[in-house]
Homo-oligomer: A and B are copies of this chain.
Amino acid sequence: MKVTAQEEYGLRCLLQLARHAEKGRPITVREVATSEGLSVAYAEKLLHQLSKAGLVESVRGVRGGFRLKGRPDEVSVGDAVRALGGFLTHSAICQRYTGDESQCVHNKNCGLRPVWTTVNYHIQKLLDNIPLTLLLQDERQARQAIVEMVSFPFTPETAGSVV
């Protein structure tokens, strides 16, 4: 159960664009890479990925760079995850984990499938409701905002203990 490098780093780069959005002019790959501690080549690849997915637009030439395509409060973490690797869909799992067979032996009747379906539903629902702007504040505030948003008994203290 993990977050891929693409998702983590890609999301961080996207947050840089969101943070930079108000300034109007695009931000260069070099700037993003530097402030994220990534190589320029790698940041380039990630931004390109986000660009292909339509979350980001690129401007070539001297004053060029990358720019968030929508308003930062209209782009969600869910959008980013979808663009960067996708959610835990059961169809992806079923197609991938087929053992030695060409089709999964549980294809017709699988006790596990409802589990992943449900997990996926939860995560997707949660992340689709977190706009990038929510994460531009400092960590304490971001946590606060998310906790209030999801509205279930979940305080910073329990949060810490869960992890």
Contact status B8-A118, CB under 8 Å:
no
Contact status A12-B112, CB under 8 Å:
yes
Contact status A99-B163, CB under 8 Å:
no
Q: Contact check: which of B1, B4, B87, B114 meets A142 at CB < 8 Å?
A: B114
**A93, B4: Cα distance in complex, Å:** 9
Give the residues from 106 to 163 in chain A that come closer than 8 angstroms, CB to CB, to chain B. 106, 109-124, 126-127, 130, 135-139, 142-143, 146-147, 150, 154, 158-159, 162-163
Asked if A7 is at the interface (CB within 8 A of a chain B CB), the reply is: yes
- Given contact pairs A2-B2, A118-B146, a sample of 10 additional A-B residue pairs in the complex whose CB atoms are under 8 Å apart: A1-B3, A1-B87, A37-B98, A37-B100, A39-B100, A77-B115, A118-B147, A119-B123, A122-B123, A124-B162
Asked if A101 is at the interface (CB within 8 A of a chain B CB), the reply is: yes
**A11, B137: Cα distance in complex, Å:** 39
Contact status B5-A97, CB under 8 Å:
yes
- Given A3-B88, A4-B1, decide whether A9 and B99 contact each other with a Cβ distance below 8 A: yes
- Given A81-B1, A89-B163, A121-B159, decide whether A115 and B127 contact each other with a Cβ distance below 8 A: yes
- Given A139-B109, A139-B110, decide whether A1 and B86 contact each other with a Cβ distance below 8 A: yes
Number of chain copies forming the complex: 2
Task: Write the chain B residue with the least CB distance to A122.
Answer: B122
Contact status B139-A15, CB under 8 Å:
no
**A35, B41: Cα distance in complex, Å:** 46
**A136, B159: Cα distance in complex, Å:** 32
- Given A1-B81, A88-B1, decide whether A114 and B143 contact each other with a Cβ distance below 8 A: yes
Contact status B105-A36, CB under 8 Å:
yes
